[in-house]
Amino acid sequence: MNKIIKNGIIGIATGLIANVIFYCLQTSNFLEKFNVNLENSQTYIYISLPIIFALIFIVGGRIQKHKRDRWSILVGGTRGRPLIETTRGTLQMFGVKWRVSIGFSGPGEYHAYVEGSYCPKCDCELNSKTEDKFFGWSQKHLWKCPKCGFTINRPKDYLFEEKDAVEKVAISEYEKQNKFQ
C-alpha cells in the first residue's frame, strides 16, 4: 500500500513539475520560434504526456535504485559481494547447496550475497532447465548437474526467487547467531 501511495505522489509531483516547465515555456518566446501554439489543448497534451511519463520513470527509477542499492557496489544492477565480509559459508536449501557471504557494504548495513545453486553430491554449479509436460500445457522447472546428472525440481513457491529466499534465511540465521555479541 505504501508503494502505491509513494508512486502516486511521485506521479503527481512530476506532472506538476512538467506543467510548471510548460507554463514557463509558454510565457517565454522560446516556443514561438518553432511555431508551436500551446493555446490549442491537443498540442499541449501531445507535448506534455511524453515528458510527464519520462519524468515519472526517471525520478521513480532513481528513487527505487537509491533505496535498493544505497550502500552497495552494483554489479549488473544487483548487489555485489560485501566490501567487508564477516561470514562465508554454505547453506542447504531447496535440496541444493548455496554459497553465502554476509558482510558490510556501508555504515551499519549488512547484506547477504548468494551464489548458487550447487549440486549437493559433487559441488558443481547446476544448470536450470525447463521441460514441457502434458504436450506443452504446463512446464516442469528443474536444476540439473552437468557433471553427475543429479536432477531436482525447482521449488514452485519460490520459482525464480530462490536466491532471494536463501538470502533472507541466511540473514535470519546470521542475526540469530550474532544476537548477543
| From 49-63, 86-100, 117-131, 146-160, the region with the lowest mean pLDDT | 49-63
What letter represents residue 43's amino acid?
T
What residue segments make up the domains of the chain, in order of their start?
2-68, 74-177
pLDDT at site 39? 58
Helices 41-68 and 2-27: angle between axes, nearest 10 degrees: 140
- Global confidence as pTM: 0.55
Contact 155, 163 (CB under 8 A): no
Is 136 a residue whose pLDDT tops 70?
A: no
- The grid coordinates of residue 139 equal 512446464
For residue 60, what pLDDT band results from cuts at 50, 70 and 90?
low
Separation CA 38–CA 17 (nearest Å): 17
Is 64 a residue whose pLDDT tops 80?
A: no
Contacts 24+ apart (CB under 8 A), 153-158: 154/94, 154/128, 155/94, 158/94
SS3 82: coil
